[in-house]
Amino acid sequence: LIQLASCGKSSSIRSFQDPCISDARVVLDLIDAIKPNVIDHSLIKSDGSLDSNMENAKYAITCGRKIGAKIYALPEDIVEVKPKMVMTVFACLMARDYMPDMRESAAAPVTPMMS
Q: The domain that contains 91 carries what CATH number?
A: 1.10.418.10
Give me the mean pLDDT over the 95-102 stretch: 72
Are 9 and 32 within 8 A, CB to CB? yes
Higher per-residue pLDDT: 83 or 8: 83
Q: Determine, yes or no, domain membership for 42.
A: yes
The pLDDT assigned to 98 comes to: 79
Those residues whose C-beta lies under 8 Å from the C-beta of residue 101, and which sit 6 or more positions away, are none
Instruction: Judge whether 32 lies within some domain.
Output: yes
- Of 65, 35, 36, 34, the residue nearest 74 (C-alpha): 65
Query: Is 62 a member of any domain?
Result: yes
| pLDDT band for position 12 (cuts 50, 70, 90) | confident
SS3 of residue 64 by DSSP: helix
**Residue 64: closest CA among 84, 91, 83, 46:** 91
- pTM (predicted TM-score): 0.79
> How far apart (Å, rounded) are the C-alpha atoms in residues 64 and 67?
5
**Looking at residue 114, what DSSP letter applies?**
P
- pLDDT confidence bin for 114, thresholds 50/70/90: low
Range of the domain at 86: 2-7+28-100
